[in-house]
Amino acid sequence: MNRIELTRNPFLKSALKSRYPQLAVFIVMLIGYIFAILAGLIGTPVGSHNFSIVFVWIAWWAILILVAVPFFGRGWCAVCPIPLPGEWLQRGAVLAPPDKKPKWLNLRVPKMFRNIWMQNISFLLLALFSSVLLTTPNMTGIVLAGMLFAAIGLSMIFERRAFCRYLCPVGGFIGIYSQTAPIELRIKEKQICVTCEGKPCYNGSSAGYGCPWDVFPGGLTKNTYCGLCMECIRTCPHDNIAVNLRPFSADLAKPSTRIDEAFKAFIMLGSAMIYAAVLLGPWGTFKDAAYTVGTSAWFLYALLFLTIICGILPGFFALGILRTNSHTPIKQRFTSLSTALIPLGLMFWVAFSLSFVLTNASYIIAALSDPLGLGWNLFGTANAVWQPMLTTLLGPAQTLALVGGLIWSTRTAQKAASEVNVSSILVITYCFILTSIMLWLLL
């Protein structure tokens, strides 16, 4: 296992262990988030000149899908402000106090919800309204506020970060895609955990809190549910937890056996393709249907959207699986082979996002100077004109991303297929067809 332990570096280790640098980042993020809510609610209704639209759906999204997820896995979760007010209230403190009993209800999330189905549903719900959400500051403000209050509410009722782990629409896909990232948090030696008493990494101690993500660090083998909050590094009495640099997509070598995660792969794949067609395509009827929420056209669009994502894509995939012969049960074949769709989906989103980000990034410059559309000119750039960037690079970059994703998927499919003793050819064909469609939609 070629891993480089980053936390061997004493400077990095103390920076991650100390609560102060993290808190500083948290405060900045939280203020920015609240400002985005205000901007959405009272700023100009023109999306391209409103801080909430520009900094959430262009700047933040670009950083998330192009940098944070591919290179840092759940790195965004590590700095996300949404759970913070709820968590501070839940803990009764901002920085860790010595042992204090939890103040609120602290219920365990019911078993029925301890999966990512709620996150699948919340993502699909937002996706159906995305045309309105991405373009209307009001809606963005309401959704951002909604998520913040949902997180606070859930923290009052349930233990740990219930919103992050079980409801957040973004967390749903960041988790799946974090399996491809070159960073991980893992224990160093298993034997130490076996003999460890009390497991403070999970149960908390005077040095810190039990894992807010409801993960037992000693059993972490994949990135999917670890939010990189560094709490366990603070509580482990044996200094047995490390942050490592590792090859890309190391986690995909251990395919998942869960249907909810497999489904997520289809949701992300399908939504990237549908967005590419509806938002970036030349077909006005689809755009109108997607935007005019509540009309019969929109219902048809929603139906089509759900049919493609929940029916057609997994359906064809399952058909291919059925044609394979193996002793492994069909469900395991399905979940294992759908692992191949994870790198493909990530690259689909990268390719799709590159288009509207490069086209509209110039709005960021103007929005910095006049975030609310009140006529400010904080940095002198309020009159910066809209100008697409790097357009000659866009096509080649998208091809690179999509073909690269296909190669990555092919490799993943081969490895997954050999583990369940089937041929990977059908999955690879499936990936090739979808990649060709995506290329046609974007180029």
Partner 1 sequence: MKRTELFSRTLILFGIVLAVAMPLYFWNQTPLIHARIADDGGWNPDVIRAEAGKPLHLRLISDDVMHGFAVGQMDIDTVDVEPGKVTDITLTFDKPGIYTFYCTRWCGLNHWRMRGTIEVRGASSAEEIPSSIPLYVTLDLDIDALHDSPVIPSTRPSAINGQQSAMNLDIARISTSDFYKSHSPYQAFEELDSLPLTDSEKWDVVSVIWKSNTSTESLSDGKKLFAQNCAACHGENGAGDGVFADDLAAAGKDSMQTMNGAMKMSMQTPVDFTDPTRMLGSSPALLQGKVLRGGMGTGMPMWGSIFTEDQIWNLIAYLYSFQFEYEK
Partner 2 sequence: MPHTPSLVHPTSRNLMTPRFSLLLSVMAGLVVAFAPLSVASTTHQERTIRIEANQFSYSPSDIQINPGDTVNIQLVSTDVVHGLYIDGYDISVEADPGQIATLTFVADKPGSFRFRCNVTCGAMHPFMIGKVTVGANHWLYRSIGLALVSVVGFFPLSTFLSQRKRKGEKDTTL
Closest CA to 127 of 297, 277, 306: 306
- CA angle at 435 for the pair 431 and 437, rounded to the nearest 5°: 120
Decide if 272 contacts 245 (C-beta within 8 A): no
Question: According to the binding rule CB under 8 A, does residue 206 interact with partner 1?
Answer: no
Segment lying near partner 1 (by CB under 8 A), choices 9-17, 36-44, 119-127, 421-429: 36-44
Q: Nearer Cβ to partner 1, position 116 or 367?
A: 367
Alpha helices in 236-312 (DSSP H): 259-280, 284-291, 296-306
- Rounded Cα–Cα distance for residues 45 and 48 (Å): 9
Decide if 79 contacts 382 (C-beta within 8 A): no
> From the list 4, 12, 46, 157, which residue makes contact with partner 1 (rule: CB under 8 A)?
46
Buried b (16+ CB within 10 A) or exposed e, 122-135: bbbebbbbbbbbbb
Segment lying near partner 1 (by CB under 8 A), choices 46-54, 56-64, 219-227, 414-422: 46-54
Q: Shortest approach of partner 1 to residue 94 CB, angstroms?
A: 4
Q: Shortest approach of partner 1 to residue 90 CB, angstroms?
A: 15
Decide if 135 contacts 63 (C-beta within 8 A): no
Question: According to the binding rule CB under 8 A, does residue 383 interact with partner 1?
Answer: yes
Question: According to the binding rule CB under 8 A, does residue 388 interact with partner 2?
Answer: yes
Both structure tokens of 94:
């901002």
Q: Shortest approach of partner 1 to residue 81 CB, angstroms?
A: 11
Decide if 181 contacts 73 (C-beta within 8 A): yes
Q: Nearer Cβ to partner 1, position 106 or 135?
A: 135
Segment lying near partner 1 (by CB under 8 A), choices 265-273, 280-288, 366-374, 401-409: 366-374
Question: According to the binding rule CB under 8 A, does residue 406 interact with partner 2?
Answer: yes
Q: Shortest approach of partner 2 to residue 270 CB, angstroms?
A: 19
Question: According to the binding rule CB under 8 A, does residue 71 interact with partner 2?
Answer: no
Instruction: Give the phi and the psi of residue 7 in degrees, each rounded to 5.
Output: -75, 5
Both structure tokens of 271:
């939504």
Q: Nearer Cβ to partner 2, position 268 or 361?
A: 361
Question: According to the binding rule CB under 8 A, does residue 392 interact with partner 2?
Answer: yes
Question: According to the binding rule CB under 8 A, does residue 80 interact with partner 1?
Answer: no
- Helix-strand-coil percent breakdown of the chain, rounded to 5? 65, 5, 30
Decide if 356 contacts 439 (C-beta within 8 A): no
CB-facing half-sphere around the CA of 438: CA atoms within 13 A: 31
Note the Cα 377 to chain centre separation in Å: 34
Q: Shortest approach of partner 1 to residue 60 CB, angstroms?
A: 16
Both structure tokens of 44:
């100009």
Alpha helices in 46-83 (DSSP H): 51-52, 61-63, 69-72, 75-79
Q: Nearer Cβ to partner 2, position 22 or 359?
A: 359
Q: Nearer Cβ to partner 2, position 31 or 425?
A: 425
Q: Shortest approach of partner 1 to residue 154 CB, angstroms?
A: 20
Question: According to the binding rule CB under 8 A, does residue 21 interact with partner 1?
Answer: no
Binding site for partner 2 (CB under 8 A): 46-48, 131-132, 135-136, 278-285, 287-288, 291, 356, 359-360, 386, 388, 391-392, 394-395, 399, 402-403, 406-407, 410-411, 414, 424-425, 428, 431-432, 435-436, 439-440, 443
Binding site for partner 1 (CB under 8 A): 23, 27, 30-32, 34-35, 38-39, 42-46, 48-50, 88, 93-95, 97, 366, 370, 372-376, 382-383
